[in-house]
Structure 1
Amino acid sequence: PGVAVSTPDVFKALSRRDNDALPPLPRRLDFHAIRNWLETTRNDLEGAAQAIQPAIGEALKALKRADAAFARMSGSGATCFGLFETGNVAKRAAIEIRARHPDWFVAATRSMEVSDGEA
């Protein structure tokens, strides 16, 4: 969202450090499997980062309003990402978000494709 957040500050603001382990990756790495898996996971740093920099929450809301099937903050912030059903939906979302937030860096990208033998 065009802002910085200090990683040491995020870790200092982290209220809980004894969270449960995340579930294993699904065997099949297609869009729906990854999205469903991500729905069962969390970013333990997201709440602390948003408390320091509320623009992170604004970015996540913007992604969801733009039809992201899933949105989350990456790492300790402030970068956020969305998963979109198709490339065209992602491109349309990028245009929409960029129009509303011209000071943000917004890009529609493609994920790597995994063949059946690689998962």
Structure 2
Amino acid sequence: MASYDRREHLKAIHASRKALTYQKVDDAITRLIRFNESINFNSVANEAGVAKATLYNNSELRERIESLRQRQLEDPTSKQINRNINEGNKDALIQSLKRKVKKLEEENKQLKEQVKLAYGEVYKKF
């Protein structure tokens, strides 16, 4: 009869859980990268279905998430690129709007003069 070693059995269970956790986290990170989502401890924990404490306490996972998060911060996203383009066009847009406002103010002034003349003609007829 084979002897049952409880310690070895617990080690095997722990190793299988650890491997499953690593696999979940790897899959979650892959999905986040594929869908261009931000990578941080909250998003990885939610996507993988593990506790944030697990990610923080495991040094290997922690370093990986921190490095991916840092890399994402350094690489400009499409939103940041659009914001930079918009800021570059901001001055041109302001000048264009100023010209439009000035044109509309002149047009408004001319229309007010025409209304005054029209009222004057109506008043003369009475």
TM range (shorter): under 0.3
- Structure richer in strand, relative to its length: 1
| Structure of greater relative contact order (alpha carbons < 8 Å, 6+ residues apart) | 1
* TM-score normalised by the chain length of structure 1: 0.25
State the structure with more CA Rg. 2
Name the TM-score, length of structure 2 as normaliser: 0.24
- Structure ranking higher in helix proportion: 2
